[in-house]
Amino acid sequence: MTRTLVIGDIHGGLRALHQIMERAKVTANDKLIFLGDYVDGWSESPQVIEYLIALEQKQDCIFINGNHDELLLEWLSESKDNLDWYKHGGESTVLSYSLFPSETKEKHIEFLQSLKSHYIDDKNRLFIHAGFTNLNGIDYEYFPKLFSWDRTLWEMALCLDDRIPIESELYPSRLKKYHEIYIGHTPTTRINETKPLQKANVWNVDTGAAFKGKLTILDIDTKEFWQSEPVFELYPIEKGRN
């Protein structure tokens, strides 16, 4: 049976990625949608990208662009220093790349340049790293950079009163545009949740793998999910983004 599985923010945690692939019993028949932020945090960011490039040769994969992937591309392609990025996981990525030849870096630049800003399936389910702000949907967004940086979509979903029916004029127009919206970017662990979380029709699959949470893979049809061990336990001598 073919499944569509969505994967939250990895942040250089290749060991956690291996775990969820095994625990979900992923096969070549499954379609995989990665929500971005493949890098920055744990020490295996280049290895994660290598793994994803190889994985795409075996099965149907969709790779969404995350804000950390965007920052890495700037550094790889422009040697652009960003001290704020270094403080938020970039330093471990820079150190990791010192072990790889220029040919690998060029291959990773191509991968990062190929990432999608978003993806919509045939059931009008939107997959995006962070969110969007335009009331009419992503096609009308004035600031496409927000696709990988926005937090207002998730904050709005969190604050939405469950008693407001979707038919109401008070119901957010943004949310009405899509059957479901799958995001990462803002860890559910910020509100002490360790599992993927649904608010309104928004599913947040970032369960804090960059910090002290787990990496998650979720079946978008059945809503069954599998998680790694807390990622910091898989890298006991590292700090990640903690």
Q: What are phi and psi of 219, to 5 degrees?
A: -80, 115
pLDDT at residue 80 above 80?
no
User: For the residues of 141-184, what is the DSSP string, one character each?
Assistant: -S-GGGGGT--HHHHHHHH--TTS-TTSTTS-HHHHT-SEEEE-
For the record, the structure tokens of 188 come out as: 């559910």
> Do the domain assignments include residue 77?
yes
Q: Note whether residue 242 is domain-resident.
A: no
CA–CA separation, 202 vs 205, rounded Å?
10
Q: Is residue 240 part of a domain?
A: no
List the CATH number of the domain containing 76. 3.60.21.10
As for how many domains the chain has, the answer is 1
Q: Is there a domain that residue 229 lies in?
A: yes
Domain around 83: 4-234
Helix (H, G, I), strand (E, B) or coil at 27: coil
Q: Is residue 189 part of a domain?
A: yes
Q: What are phi and psi of 34, to 5 degrees?
A: -100, 130
Mean pLDDT lowest among 79-88, 93-102, 214-223: 79-88
pLDDT digits (tens, 9 = 90+) for 128-171: 999 999 999 999 999 999 999 999 999 999 999 999 999 999 99
Q: State the pLDDT confidence band at 1, using cuts at 50, 70 and 90.
A: confident
Mean pLDDT of 89-115: 95
Q: Which amino acid is at 16?
A: A
Q: Tell me the pLDDT tens digit for each residue of 49-74.
A: 999 999 999 999 999 999 999 999 99
224 or 1, higher pLDDT: 224
Q: Which residue did the predictor score with more confidence, 91 or 83?
A: 91
What is the reported pLDDT for 232?
Answer: 97
Mean pLDDT of 82-106: 93
What pLDDT score does 30 carry? 98
Is residue 239 one of the residues assigned to a domain? Answer: no
Strand stretches in 43-199, DSSP E: 61-63, 118-120, 125-128, 180-183, 197-199
Domain annotation covers residue 58 = yes
